[in-house]
Structure 1
Amino acid sequence: AFSDGIIPWHSSNDAVVDICSVHGLTGNRTSTWTAKREDTTPWPIKLLAPKLGDKARILSYGYDAYIVRMSVASGNGLLDHATNLLNDLVSYRDSDESEPDGPSRPLIFIAHSLGGLVCKRALLLSRNHPEKHLQSLFKSTTGIIFMGTPHRGSWMADWSRLPVASLGIVKSSNKKLIQILRTDNQLLSAVQEDFLGMVRGLREEGRAFQITCFYEELPMQGSDKVVSTESATLDPYTKMSIHANHSNMVKFNFAEDQGFKRVYGELDRWIRASSSAKKPRVLTSEQRDLLRSLPGFDLSDIVDEVTSPWMDSCQWIFAHSTFSKWLTSTDIPLLQITGQPGSGKSVLSVFIFKELRQQSRTTFYFRFGDDHLHSPANAADVWATFIRQQLQLDPNLFAQLPQKCQSKRNDQSLAGGKDEPWKQPELRRLLTHLASSFQVSTVYIIDGLDQCAGNPSEVLTPFVDIMHTTDRKSTIAVLVLNRNLARLKLSSVFQSNLSQQPIILETEKSHLKNITDFTGAKVESLCVHRPGLNAVKGAILSELGARTGSMYLLPKLIVESLEHIDSTPATIKRTLRTLPPDLETAYWKILDTISMPDYDTAFDTFLWILFSRRPLTVRELSTAIALPLSENENELQENTSLDLLGDSRLSKILPLLRTPTATSNTLKDGDTVHFVHATARQFHLSKIIKEFNPWVIRCGGMTPIHFAALGDKAACVKYLAGIREASDSRVVGGSTSLNGCNWLHLAARVGSVGVVSCVNAVGADDFDVNAVDDNGFTTALSVAAEHGRAQNIRYLLTLGASVKSTDYRGRTPLWYAVREGHTDVVRDLVAAGAVVETRVFGKLRNSSRDDIAALLKRGRHKC
């Protein structure tokens, strides 16, 4: 019989954590973790238990993960195995009467291959399970070590396409299980997206959840790697390699094995953190309201968008004498790190933040940038973000908040969380007060300060206040990363003796060597894929070396552009002579490759990424671009079923895009899409959007402003209308769009009140709320009435929209509302004095809506 369920490997009455191993495809709860056949002791017993001693209880879980059998193979899929893991593990931890804290004891998984997917699915099941006791798995899990887990699929899924007969004597196969590992499997993508969303939610709540991904270095004999590095890792979480193939990466012989050292090092660090950490406190509804009322940003929004460092390219900073002196000093609080755009400052800042937090240093982080902002952030955004992080880290600080903050919270709750009751001086005082309350030294990291709206030096004033606070209980350290040292004269805020000499990336030998190594690796990879370029590898490296300086981004863009050139000697020579010398030129050269028929689609892509209220996934972006191309639902489905990134119209702009979890060449449906760098976003705003007249009718009749109204993006409407050419006399409602519907009508039909109000605000004196559409048919009020936009109806009425307006057939807004059965709209129009004509009652006779009939009778009586 197959060995399934929980088996105990090491017990301790003083254990502070449970460690549970979960094997993978075709694995076994014992043999998977055993190095040699002649030694039947799994390494968690032989190597791990002596190291951890009494600190941990070690378990192993088994399930039938065989995909082919000579007898009948299990038909269980991922959900079945995850459900069994959830029930079996909770039951085991509940059943030991000698350990009453068993169900709530911190839990760490070590998961190999498919086992990682089973763990993820089990946690998702546990999170909102209707059975309270089964929620304990989610509540107690503190970390997962993924070992060769195919988060994005595996080549082994090709087996699922083989007919069982071709497997010879094998009598049965479990295709359901292995089909999960196909890279295009929808369930796999959904589990991945839901799991990452769950982890982000935990981090926003201030709950620690550790993730480390190990990937195989060697292929299986006679084949490729089973799980690629890309599929086995999750950015931005820690990733390390094991010098073994997929099977042997979880089979360690000796304690000196480097793979074991790495796994044990992560476990030991997590267990020490778990032992010293206090049990997370659940916030009250009032406390959550207060956090929501603050301006600023969630930590995950500004950290998760940044990609991981290349190899060990950021390790040098902790060995730097200036950095070490600043970090350990008690009287020199300020340090600046400066560098060119694209030199990796944001990557470095997030690396420093994560390393300090892993060292249990109390560290707070803010990043100026465009991915998570609709407008440039200011000092108040920085202060509020730090306050949010402080309260999440130590909920006891809520008790120290002044009474005024509580009233602000209440005002905010009544306002629905949309108004901003916090004033800048209040935030400054509150940050100073909370920061002075910490009993331990604290570190504040501010990245991209040169992009601050307003005076960048103002951001640092609370920290100066803290330095002069006589009753502060600890020291502070402030790290600022920015593009241009000359612009930021921070010594005027901090006295010169309170500031370290800046670290300038352009002159740091370690940083420059990393750039050279990075460039060499990119070129080496290019020549592997394009063997014809091997003959000019030296020339490519020489040209890149003369241009890239201290930047990672420029060689990346240039090398990606070389992937598509012809390999003829003449083309190569011409290309090398014209390589871009800077980022702006590189962006222009990428855009120059887009043909005019494809430019509209590329432009729409940029527009959606620039002005969406949140980062869009690949699927959402594909749908957004397909909207103006589709006349009906079938066409929309057909357009969005195309692979966005396989679309030839968009392939040329891929170097300009990225996601936090993948490169542009490997985007998946659930990945969010961003510009490759803040400079790319700023380039499109300053060079593309502003030089493109938003009132010019484009192919298909859609201008950017129509597009913004259709997409319900008020910020986009404001921006585009604000850069309208002064010489253009075209009225706001006059530009033709799809089916003759101008952008006021589009806003009334599909937009929110915010978009309609923007249309009014930017229309100024030439705004006519009663204008008919460009075909001479209906007014905006009739359009809103037809589509049941009650809030838009009320707003248009306040602007003077006429309830008596008619279309070319004499139909009023009330007629449209009655025909479509929109009760709220009928009520508002009748209250506003709409005339209830006989033809309206005639429309009603085809309806059975008694509530509308009563409203019309009441309105006719008033007439």
Structure 2
Amino acid sequence: MDLPKASELGVLAVSAAVIILTTCCWLVSRKPSKASRKSSEDSRTFRVRNVPLHWKATDLQTFLAEHSSPTVKSIATEIHSGSNTGTVTFKDVPLPLQASHPWDIPLSLPSEDQPFRDQYLTLDDGFLGITTLYNPLPEDHKVDVIAVSGLGSHAFGSFKERGTDFMWLRDALPYDVTSKDTGRPMARMIVYGHESTVEQSKNMQNLEDMSTSFHDSLLALARAPTVRPIILVAHSLGGLIVKQALISLSKSKNEDDLTLFRAMYGIVFFGVPHDGMQIKSLIPMVGDGPNRFLVESISSINSQILSIQQREFSKALGGQGDSEIICFYETLMSPTARKDEFGEWKMIGPSELLVTKFSATHCRSWEVGPEHICAVARTHSDMVRFRRNDHEYDNVRERLKGLAQRARVRISVSNQTCTS
């Protein structure tokens, strides 16, 4: 048998090296990068503010089509009545929005005949403050539903089904809360967003600061020509913000505050840690950041702040018949925070029950039956995310429908009493 020549061995060695190098490159390319992981995230929904009042969804769609390929999912008049707000998705996210910064698009330039300030549409995906998702017809508008998300959450995304653009407060509930008289939608749907990032936060706000911001965002409701009864839907930390705001309203002598407080009827709590929650895995994320006090204040271990808040909240709401509270609690364990292979914090740690049934149902003595205390077979984060035709949503829907009908009657009777 002939032995290979030295030159042939050299060629074989080079070929083997090329094969090994190519294989290594292929394996590296199969490892998910940060960019590829970002591209596989949930579809993003953007908010469009300062939309002219006379525009319809088709007008907004046509205008934005000049810049990209949008799908307008909703358009509704804001509570200040000065403009509309829309929600849109894009097949391909426009370059100015890819960095998650607001994008201002000029509507028109002022002329010498019209020396007004420049008008811009503003697109963002932060959803901070008030966003109106749905308006019923003016003659059908009987109640307002305002949803507040939890710690480190997103005003829109936290209520959205994972992996799709279905959001039950926008796409389902408006058409389920209907008038008994007409069968038409009767509830305006609003979400409120707050800054409560856990990791690398530069915010030193506390519960009172957050409740003050929430209160300020609602003042336009008190100054409207017609004040409708209000139902608050709150998840996790959002419920504590709501409670603190109601405590402040109940103590105020300001006429706008009194108007708002009288309009408050129903509160729907989802996994709200009235008696604290498990925060052990959050402390390493917070470190010595300025938001550590906020996170520690909602701990299940000896939180004096929550104990005081609960006592004041019970006094603020008054007696039976003045208001109504429904509490939903989680029954599935939730993954906790842990760093992944890229050094980023993800909810991939050991599972724990973040908010116990006792903490989530710290309600009033006359609201202890199944119509006011309900289980949701979801984790803490997913208990406010529903799919189309979701049986868990069915339970929530029926309670909200009943709450809305009772709110109409109670506020109507209350107003008649005040004017007589």
TM value normalised by structure 2: 0.59
Offset of 1:258 from its aligned partner?
A: 2.1
Q: Is the aligned partner of 1:25 residue 2:143?
A: no
| Residue 80 of structure 1 pairs with residue 206 of structure 2 | no
Aligned counterparts, 1:708-747, within 5 A = none
- 1:158 Cα deviation after fit: 6.2
Which residue does the alignment assign to 1:90? 219
| 1:75 to partner: Cα distance | 1.4
In the other structure, the counterpart of 1:608 is none
The Cα of 1:240 is off from its aligned counterpart by 0.5
Q: Distance in 2 between matches of 1:174 and 1:226?
A: 19
Residues 311-352 of structure 1: per-residue CA shift (max 9 Å, x gap):
xxxxxxxxxxxxxxxxxxxxxxxxxxxxxxxxxxxxxxxxxx
Counting only pairs closer than 5 Å after superposition, residues 461-476 of structure 1 correspond to structure 2 as: none
Return the alpha-carbon distance in structure 2 between the equivalents of residues 142 and 28 of structure 1. 25
Question: What amino acid is the match of 1:45?
Answer: R
- Does the residue aligned with 1:279 lie in a helix, a strand or coil? helix
| 1:5 matched to 2:136 | no
Match of 1:261 among 385, 390, 394: 394
Deviation at 1:234, TM superposition (A): 2.5
Larger RCO (CA within 8 A; separation ≥ 6): 2
Equivalents in 1 of 2:292, 2:217: separation in Å?
24
Structure 1 residue runs of 5 or longer lacking an equivalent are 166-171, 285-395, 397-863
User: What is the correspondence of 1:648-797 to structure 2 with a 5 Å cutoff?
Assistant: none
State the match for 1:213 in structure 2.
Answer: 327
Following superposition, the deviation at residue 65 of structure 1 comes to 1.4
CA distance in 1, matches of 2:208, 2:409: 35
Percent of aligned positions that are identical: 26
Q: Are residue 55 (structure 1) and residue 186 (structure 2) matched?
A: yes
Q: Secondary structure at the match of 2:383?
A: helix
CA offset digits 1:61-109 (Å, max 9, x no partner): 000111222xx43211100110011110122x2566xxx20xx310001
2:242 is aligned with 1:119: yes
C-alpha deviation, 1:125, in angstroms: 0.7
Is the Cα contact below 8 Å between 1:129 and 1:135 reproduced in 2? Answer: yes
The question of whether the paired residues in 2 share the 8 Å contact of 1:77 and 1:176 is answered with yes
1:3 maps to amino acid: F
Per the alignment, residue 273 of structure 2 pairs with 150
Closer/same/farther in 2, CA of residues 196 and 282 from structure 1, 3 Å limit? farther
Query: How far apart are 1:132 and its partner, in Å?
Result: 1.8
- Aligned-residue offset at 1:176: 2.0
Match of residue 403 from structure 2: 270
CA distance in 2, matches of 1:23, 1:241: 19
Aligned residues: 266
Question: 1:434-469, CA deviations, whole angstroms, 9 ceiling, x for partnerless residues?
Answer: xxxxxxxxxxxxxxxxxxxxxxxxxxxxxxxxxxxx
Q: CA 1:132 to 1:161, structure 2 compared with 1: closer, same or farther past 3 Å?
A: farther
Distance 1:157 1:73, change over 3 A: farther
Alpha-carbon distance change, 181 to 161 in structure 1, aligned in 2, over 3 angstroms: farther
Cα displacement (A) at 1:161: 7.5
Match of 1:66 among 197, 203, 212: 197
Asked whether the equivalents of residues 18 and 106 of structure 1 are also in contact (C-alpha less than 8 Å), the reply is yes
| Residue of structure 1 in register with 2:297 after alignment | 180
- Give yes or no for contact 1:67–1:173 (8 Å, CA) kept in 2: no
Q: Deviations over 1:819-848 (max 9, x none)?
A: xxxxxxxxxxxxxxxxxxxxxxxxxxxxxx
| C-alpha distance in structure 2 between counterparts of 1:84 and 1:163, whole Å | 22
Residues 755-779 of structure 1: CA deviation (Å, up to 9, x unaligned): xxxxxxxxxxxxxxxxxxxxxxxxx
Which residue pairs with 1:429 in the alignment?
none
SS of 1:122's equivalent in the other structure is helix
Give the aligned partner of residue 246 of structure 1: 380
Shift of 1:214: 0.3
Q: Contact 1:3 / 1:29 at 8 angstroms: preserved in 2?
A: yes
- Please tell me whether residue 43 in structure 1 is matched to residue 168 in structure 2: yes
Q: Which runs of 5+ in 2 are unaligned?
A: 1-100, 102-125, 178-183, 336-349
SS at match of 1:254: coil
Q: CA deviation at 1:275?
A: 2.9
Checking the alignment, whether the CA contact within 8 Å between 1:68 and 1:174 is kept in structure 2 is no
Residue identity matched to 1:23: S
- 1:174 and 1:89 map into 2 onto residues whose CA distance is 25
Secondary structure of 1:73 counterpart: coil
Higher helix share: 1
Q: Which runs of structure 2 are paired with 1:527-606 in the superposition (5 Å)?
A: none
The yes-or-no answer on 1:15 pairing with 2:141 is yes
Amino acid at match of 1:197: K
Q: Deviations over 1:162-190 (max 9, x none)?
A: 7727xxxxxx4511211121231211111
Please give the alpha-carbon distance, in whole angstroms, between the structure 2 residues aligned to 1:195 and 1:232: 15
Q: 1:226 to 1:173 in 2, by over 3 A?
A: farther
Distance 1:94 1:149 in 2: 26
Letter in 2 for 1:48: L
Q: Contact between 1:20 and 1:110, CA under 8 Å: does it hold in 2?
A: yes
SS of structure 1 residue aligned to 2:307: helix
Q: What SS does structure 1 have at the residue aligned with 2:352?
A: coil
Kindly indicate which of the two structures has a greater share of residues assigned to strand: 2
- Structure possessing the higher radius of gyration over alpha carbons: 1
Rounded Cα–Cα distance in structure 2 between residues aligned with 1:9 and 1:15: 14
What do residues 583-631 of structure 1 show as CA deviations (whole Å, max 9, x unaligned)? xxxxxxxxxxxxxxxxxxxxxxxxxxxxxxxxxxxxxxxxxxxxxxxxx
